[in-house]
């Protein structure tokens, strides 16, 4: 994903377009729905900026997905498994002579809001100057 300094001009391009054509916000899927069509757009890995609003919106969406992944947490829980308790129905991992039940969870997968981009730009600019 682009750094915020490279993304911000693309955000401004989309904002100018949306000021003129506010009804296009849904076409560009700024607020969703985050469905198969949306995810297909994310696979466009073109690095050549053709000046289009669609290019800018795709790069913004890719950035938002990257920031969501960067911010998520992965939680792994282990608990000892006694020989009698260890059944094939639960996930078990063996380490040395011990066995553990385990579970894996991914937390904080809230999609980063489009409207937060200006805030992120200002924050990163301040960090860069510090």
pLDDT at position 88, please?
Answer: 61
Q: DSSP per residue over 5-46, as a string? A: HHHHHHHHHHHHHHHH-TTHHHHTTBTB--SHHHHHHHT---
Secondary structure element (H or E) that encloses residue 76, with its range: strand 73-80
pLDDT at position 64, please?
Answer: 94
Mean pLDDT of the region 104-124: 92
pLDDT band at 47 (very low <50, low <70, confident <90, very high): confident
pLDDT band at 87 (very low <50, low <70, confident <90, very high): low
∠ CA 9-14-17, rounded to 5°: 125
């Amino acid at each position: 994903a682009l750094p915020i300094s490279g993304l911000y001009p693309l955000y401004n391009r989309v904002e100018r377009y949306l000021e003129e054509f506010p009804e296009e916000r849904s076409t560009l899927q700024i607020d969703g729905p985050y469905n198969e069509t949306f995810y297909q757009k994310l696979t466009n890995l073109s690095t050549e900026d053709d000046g289009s609003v669609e290019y800018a919106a795709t790069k913004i969406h890719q950035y938002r997905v990257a920031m969501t992944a960067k911010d998520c947490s992965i939680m792994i829980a282990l608990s000892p498994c006694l020989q009698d308790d260890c059944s094939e129905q639960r996930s078990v991992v063996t380490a040395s002579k011990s066995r553990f039940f385990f579970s894996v969870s991914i937390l904080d997968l809230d999609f980063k809001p489009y409207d937060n981009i200006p805030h992120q730009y200002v924050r990163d600019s301040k960090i860069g100057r510090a």
